[in-house]
Amino acid sequence: MDLEELTRRRQAIIDRHGPWIYYNVELASGVYTMDTATPVQARRVQRVLQVASDVTCKPLDALRVLDLGSHEGKFAVEFARHGADVVAVEVRAAHVEKARLVRDWFELDNLELVQDDVRSIAAEWHGSFDVVLCLGLLYHLGAADGVDLMRRVSELCRRVAIIDTQIGLSGRARHRSGAIEYRGSLYREHLEDTTSAEREGITGASIDNPVSFWFTRPSLCNLLADVGFSSVYEGLNPPATLAKRDRRTLVAMKGKPVDVMGLPPGGSAPERWPERRRARAYSDQRRLRQFLLRHPGLDRRARRQWRRLTGR
C-alpha cells in the first residue's frame, strides 16, 4: 500500500463509519488516523505494555496476546508492533475495519483481527495466551455475562490477565452465581427502545444489553479468585492520566497455589474480601497523637516535627 492508497482508504473509512475516536497513531509523515497529532490515551497503552512486560518476565516479542473488545485496535496494534503474536476480538465492523487499515499499513502479519462477540470466545477455537487484555469491556456487560467472561478469560490465560474497568461504588445491586453472591451497581447503557442500528453506532456503550453491572472492587477481586487466578494486584505505576476513583486496573495472575509449611494443604477456606470493612490505623499512630495532645508543654521542636509529618 502506498501513501496515496493509504489516504484514500482512510478517507473512505471515515466517510462510511465516521472518524477515529480513541486511537491516534502516525501512519506516515504528517498522516494520522485522527486529524491531529495529539496522542489519545497514550498513558493507558504505556501502562498495559509495561505491566505485561514486567509480570511475564519476557520480551514483548515472545508473548501471545489476546485483546478482548479491541475497539479501534490501539492496544492490539501496539503489542503487534512490538513483535507480540496478537489476536484481537471486536464485535463492531467499523472498529475492525479501522484496525485493519492500520495493520495493513504497518504490515503486521502477527496481528489477527476477529469480528466476533467476546462472549463467544473459547479455548478450543483460539488456543491459550500469555496475556489476556480485558480493557474497557467488563463494565459494558450484564452480571451473568461478566461472570461467564471472567471464567473464559481464566481458561484462555496461561499467565496474566489485565482488567481495566469501572467499578461499582455502592454495591446495592446483587447477583448470585450458584452459591456465591457478587455486588455492584447497575448502569444504563441504552434506552429500552433503542434500535439495533442505533446501538451499533453508539461506540462507547454495549452492543446489546440495555443495563450493565459494575462489580464492586471486593466482588471483582473475589470473582477473579473464584475463576482460578491465584493472585491479583492493582496497577498504579506507570500512572494513567485518565485514572478516576471508580476506575481500576487489576492484574490477575495464574500460578500454582502455595501452601504454608506446617499446615495441612488446603486446610482452611480461602479468605474473601468483605464488601464493607472498617479500615483501622496502626495503633501506635493513634497513641502517639493522644500523647502529644495530653502534653501541651512538650518541646516545641518536637511538636513542629509532628505537624510537619502529619499536616496538622
pLDDT by residue (tens digit) across 209-267? Answer: 889 999 999 999 999 999 999 999 998 888 875 567 889 999 999 988 887 787 776 66
Average pLDDT over residues 88-103: 95
pLDDT (0 to 100) of residue 199: 78
CATH architecture of the domain 40-253 equals 3-Layer(aba) Sandwich (3.40)
26-28 and 31-32 strand pairing: antiparallel
Identity (one letter) of the amino acid at 244?
K
- Indicate if the pLDDT at residue 306 is higher than 70: no
pLDDT (0 to 100) of residue 62: 96
Residue with cell 470473582: 223
Query: Which among 157, 198, 167 has a CA at the least distance from the CA of 67?
Result: 157
Query: pLDDT digit string (tens) for 38-82?
Result: 777 788 899 999 999 999 999 999 999 999 999 999 999 999 999
The distance from CA 91 to its chain's CA centroid, rounded to whole angstroms, is 18
277 vs 144, more confident? 144
pLDDT (0 to 100) of residue 163: 97
Lowest mean pLDDT segment, chosen from 80-94, 103-117, 181-195: 181-195
d(CA 127, CA 262): 38
Phi-psi region for residue 127, left (φ > 0), alpha (ψ -120 to 50) or beta?
left
- Residue 286 — pLDDT band, cuts 50, 70, 90? low
Q: Is 63 exposed, middle or buried (0-12, 13-18, 19+ CB in 10 A)?
A: buried
Query: Which among 77, 69, 66, 68 has a CA at the least distance from the CA of 99?
Result: 77
pLDDT (0 to 100) of residue 66: 98
pLDDT (0 to 100) of residue 142: 95
pLDDT (0 to 100) of residue 226: 95
Q: Residue 246: how many CB atoms within 10 A of its CB?
A: 14
pLDDT (0 to 100) of residue 183: 96
pLDDT (0 to 100) of residue 297: 65
Name the segment(s) of the chain with CATH classification 3.40.50.150: 40-253
Residue 143 three-state SS: helix
The distance from CA 37 to its chain's CA centroid, rounded to whole angstroms, is 25
pTM of the model: 0.86
pLDDT (0 to 100) of residue 263: 73
Residue with cell 468483605: 274
Calculated CA dihedral for residues 109, 115, 116, 122, nearest 10 degrees: -10
The distance from CA 189 to its chain's CA centroid, rounded to whole angstroms, is 19
CB 248 within 8 A of CB 134: no
Query: pLDDT digit string (tens) for 144-172?
Result: 999 999 999 999 999 999 999 999 998 89
d(CA 161, CA 195): 33
Give the strand order in the sheet containing 157-166: 111-115, 85-90, 64-68, 129-135, 157-166, 247-253, 231-234
Angle 151-157-162 (CA atoms, 0-180°, nearest 5)? Answer: 85
Query: pLDDT digit string (tens) for 11-34?
Result: 999 999 999 988 898 888 888 899
Per-residue cell: 125: 477455537
pLDDT (0 to 100) of residue 58: 93
d(CA 152, CA 202): 26
Query: Which among 84, 108, 88, 159 has a CA at the least distance from the CA of 129?
Result: 159
Identity (one letter) of the amino acid at 254?
K
Tell me how far CA of residue 146 lies from CA of 99, 110, 115, 164, 187, in angstroms.
25, 29, 20, 13, 14
pLDDT (0 to 100) of residue 201: 77
pLDDT (0 to 100) of residue 296: 66
Lowest mean pLDDT segment, chosen from 128-137, 198-207, 218-227: 198-207
